[in-house]
Structure 1
């Protein structure tokens, strides 16, 4: 069922690309452009999702000698999760965040910022690594990378549509010059909004699942709950810089939104995530899992 939902959601994103291409370029040529872009985005994300995401945040590979503690942590949790050890990357940023990427567990990578390593205790950092590794185990990484790549393409086409609204564009329908005003409104405003909502649908449930997986891998739900609270505070002070289309990959929103802005967050609220983790802790204590 989850795979069906994923395919359906990614199909909707691809459909948005086709629709926005139609309204920006116009006629058959716009439809063809949208189809080609959707195909290229999906195939490119399949084969290069790890490189695309890592490049977006300037992540650098690190060896076992450079980060022995992180490597030991990643190896230990990978063994518990019965998956190959992902490649390890460090992002030279003071912001505190992390993400995982790759098309499958055999081609996965986990990236952490310098800021998160400095901010969190060893137990909290282990919870974060467990969260990202669960994304790898659940094969969320490919879905999130494809959604981010297509979402970025939709945003770029919407930007093109803004130029079209100023007269830089055309339509071959009925030999009339100039863009369709209603179509441009849909392209500029509604298409990026729809893409964000679809990304939210993909990302939010997966974050809860990854939190639970991390809690079970580490046996310490409270450590991850504490890490999330620190990360949210850190996001307010030092936002993560990078392409906003890739924000669904991060363990916490690059910039912690409040109030109305939180409605369009790609992540569940930190409060809800912490509450679930503490509930899970009680369940694990009851069953002797801790």
Structure 2
């Protein structure tokens, strides 16, 4: 039976697809637009299925990391992958001092885990294990594919909204091919549709982050280590925001934006303070003595 997170995620992805269909229907002005929208949604979903990993790795200039270059890191990922019950992913290194990490790939058999140079320098071994276990949980739960599809669909909606922004200068075309369509409809397509897509993406990302934190605690048995890692990553992330395509920011373990001003309204992750609080509560529960059984 599907869990509540999977049901919620599926519903949110459905809303994104529905927005694409709605935009296409408005542009075409007839039922043909519905079919075009469904075809476009299917095409973007299929494209993200096969190419999302390459796009994400390219966005952050990640380079393949051979085992002889980082044997300790390889051994750690292999051990945690075994605990998680998934194949060993391909390992990549991102050449930046900003500490962060992400996982990508359409399924556990085609997964990749990328870490930055900065995170390897910043975290202790236990903290790094907590981060890697978090990313491997994303792989195990197939969150990498979900987030890639959501990002692709959301990007398509935003792209169409930008096209309509220019088209609105000449007046929208109605079903009768006349100028001067419903201004409220134009406003929705230009402003509200991309904003709605962004909010749906954020809802998907936040739901999956909590689940990945819990998965990390289960794999490592040390939720406090991930809490400590998140504290360091959040502090350093404010000083050294990570550059890259914002469409892939939900993949990262902490939000790459500085989190200040208006940017805080569009964070793709739950508040780090809340994630840390939940992890510390898990750690406290593990320390409590278990009641003796008869």
Common fold by TM > 0.5? yes
Q: Which residue of 1 aligns with 2:83?
A: 80
In 1, Cα distance between the equivalents of 2:195 and 2:277?
A: 29
More divergent stretch after superposition (172-181 vs 83-92): 172-181
Q: Which residue of 2 aligns with 1:59?
A: 62
In 2, Cα distance between the equivalents of 1:28 and 1:122?
A: 57
The one of 137, 142, 146 equivalent to 2:145 is 142
Structure 1: which 5+ residue stretches go unaligned? none
Q: Which residue of 2 aligns with 1:165?
A: 168
Q: Report deviation, 1:91.
A: 1.3
Q: Which residue of 2 aligns with 1:286?
A: 288
CA offsets 1:178-234 (integer angstroms, 9 cap, x no match): 554222211221112111221122111211111111122122212111111111112
* TM-score normalized with structure 2 length: 0.90
The one of 190, 194, 201 equivalent to 1:188 is 190
Query: Would you say the 8 A contact 2:65–2:93 is kept in 1?
Result: yes
In 2, Cα distance between the equivalents of 1:70 and 1:24?
A: 51
Q: Report deviation, 1:130.
A: 0.7
The one of 207, 223, 226 equivalent to 1:224 is 226
Query: Would you say the 8 A contact 1:164–1:179 is kept in 2?
Result: no
Query: Would you say the 8 A contact 1:27–1:171 is kept in 2?
Result: no
Cα gap change, 1:24 to 1:247, in 2 (>3 Å): farther
Q: Report deviation, 1:48.
A: 2.2
Q: Which residue of 1 aligns with 2:245?
A: 243
2:82 pairs with 1:89:
no
Question: SS of 2:241's equivalent?
Answer: coil
* TM-score normalized with structure 1 length: 0.91
In 2, Cα distance between the equivalents of 1:133 and 1:156?
A: 31
More divergent stretch after superposition (77-86 vs 111-120): 111-120
Q: Report deviation, 1:4.
A: 3.3
In 2, Cα distance between the equivalents of 1:157 and 1:202?
A: 21
Query: Would you say the 8 A contact 2:62–2:94 is kept in 1?
Result: yes
The one of 158, 162, 165 equivalent to 1:155 is 158
2:7 pairs with 1:4:
yes
Q: Which residue of 2 aligns with 1:41?
A: 44
Q: Report deviation, 1:265.
A: 2.0
Query: Would you say the 8 A contact 1:56–1:243 is kept in 2?
Result: yes
In 1, Cα distance between the equivalents of 2:225 and 2:197?
A: 33
Q: Which residue of 1 aligns with 2:112?
A: 109
